[in-house]
Amino acid sequence: MTRTTLCFSYLFLIFGLTACGASDKATEAPAAQDDGRIDLLVRGDFIVTMNASQDIIEDGAIAIDDGVILAVGPAADIESRYEAREVLDGGRRVVMPGLVNGHSHAAMTLLRGVADDLALMDWLQNYIFPAEVEFVDAEFVRIGTELACWEMIRGGTTTFVDMYYYPDTIAEVVERCGMRALVSATVIDQRSPDAESADDSLAKGNGFIERWLDRNPRITPIFGPHANYTLNAEQLVATRAAAMKYGVPISIHVSESPFELQYAQDTYGTTSILMYESIGFFDGPTIAAHVVWPTEEEIPILAERKVGVIHNPTSNMKIASGIAPITDMLAAGVRVGLGTDGAASNNDLDMWEEMRLAALLQKVDRMDPEALPATEVLSMATSGGATAIGLGDSIGSLEPGKRADLIQVGFKDVHHIPTYDVISHLVYVSDEQDVASVVVDGRVLMKEREMLTIDTQRVAAEATALAARIQAALAERNE
């Protein structure tokens, strides 16, 4: 994996950068507009492509038309060949692929902070599950998902994998706000906000898949069986069969906690991942959230079966689930991405924080400062994350022919002065407040920090009012 080091001149510390060895080549899609007129041109002092050769282009630009990247290269070259209807200025900006949040429960933004500092099963069984049955309905999910999309867009996330209730409502919010998402129909063997049992939730999930399978190319409807401790083997097999019928992936919590390890041993006589393998669960595309406790025997199975593992460092730390062996999985060829989990167990949807913690956790766990370097963890949040969720052919890197999902990150804040290595700063310095503009499928969703697709005042007012009702109900219940 190559890495471009960026050198600063002392006279140009306020983003007066000179790239040492940065790429100056232009790449373009096989078929560009004949007349050179395009929808959008995005400039950047640096284009961090995250392509296979990790090219970084100094003073670059990206030509976009009809949602597709047509060309990537030096700005002078791109601008000489294309005339854009809209241009995003790149002064003191780094352009990079949008962040991929591989595991979330978006609507749980409305339960942010409702129950903290608890063990996973205590948190789930005594607080979250009861609160969801009492308060979650389609309106809750609409408001909570809008709030989450606002937070994610603001922080540079362009794609997310969601698992929650009322998936039609989630998909409708995603459709309106312009993001890209894999939306799960949750399958769980207990009364939930939108179903009475596993059979009921699976049947309703089938309907959801049928309604959304070909409706919007930005939205992929999938199944979300919760875990092997909330579904039995027969129910898990039935869910996989349904996913195979429709040709869609599955997102599921896997090997998340010591409780799950013990439950799998007591119930199935083996470990979680070996249990899934024994029932053919990995025969189709699988996005496995957490995977904190895989054994040496199980890691090669994840690689062979092309399971996409989603690392959630903040949530894993907060609930004390453990430290996932990410370096071991990457070394074995496992596809690994990053996720935030829900805001009730994180407590935010900040992918920059996930990048930093992912790197630092591996270093201190291995007592090796070279473990999980910045370039690798940035890949986990972009190109590697896209591959882990099955979208690596269409998003995750800035290359001609791929969908135009990208962000501009401002490097003008004091914490970017000076900058010697742009990749290092993206991982160890940048945060969600640095994101300036966000583009998904060629559409600008945020421009110079202004949200363009979400009525933030309305969402804030609705979320505040709903939270007040929840707080009053909880207070009354606890009297």
Note the helical H segments in 10-96.
Answer: 75-81
Residue 371 is predicted with a pLDDT of 98
Residue 118 is predicted with a pLDDT of 78
Residue 130 is predicted with a pLDDT of 82
CATH topology of domain 6-97+398-448: Urease, subunit C; domain 1 (2.30.40)
CA distance 103 to 229: 19
Per the listing, tokens 């129910």 go with 235
Long-range (24+ apart) CB contacts under 8 A made by 136-142 are 136/107, 136/165, 136/166, 136/193, 137/166, 137/193, 138/166, 138/169, 139/466, 140/107, 140/110, 140/193, 140/466, 141/107, 141/165, 141/166, 141/169, 141/170, 142/169, 142/172, 142/173
pLDDT of the chain, 479 residues: tens digit per residue? 333 333 333 223 333 343 333 455 566 664 444 578 999 999 999 999 999 999 999 999 999 999 999 999 999 999 999 999 999 999 999 999 999 999 999 999 999 988 777 777 887 788 888 888 889 999 999 999 999 999 999 999 999 999 999 999 999 999 999 999 999 999 999 999 999 999 999 999 999 999 999 999 999 999 999 999 999 999 999 999 999 999 999 999 999 999 999 999 999 999 999 999 999 999 999 999 999 999 999 999 999 999 999 999 999 999 999 999 999 999 999 999 999 999 988 999 999 999 999 999 999 999 999 999 999 999 999 999 999 999 999 999 999 999 999 999 999 999 999 999 999 999 999 999 999 999 999 999 999 999 999 999 999 999 999 999 888 887 776 66
Structure tokens that stand for 253 in this block: 């919590």
Contact indicator for 56, 23 with CB cutoff of 8 Å: yes
Identity of the amino acid at 438: V
- C-alpha closest to that of 371 among 380, 379, 362: 362
Q: Where in the chain is the domain with CATH 3.20.20.140?
A: 99-388
CATH number assigned to the domain with residue range 99-388, chosen from the 4 options 3.30.420.10, 3.40.50.1000, 3.90.79.10, 3.20.20.140? 3.20.20.140
Structure tokens that stand for 477 in this block: 């219940």
Please report which helix (H) or strand (E) contains residue 357, including its range.
helix 351-366
Residue 478 is predicted with a pLDDT of 65
DSSP conformation class of 226: -
Q: Where in the chain is the domain with CATH 2.30.40.10?
A: 6-97+398-448
Query: What are phi and psi for residue 361, nearest 5 degrees?
Result: -60, -45
- C-alpha closest to that of 425 among 5, 141, 64, 118: 5
Measuring CA to CA, how many Å separate 124 from each of 36, 131, 472? 55, 10, 21
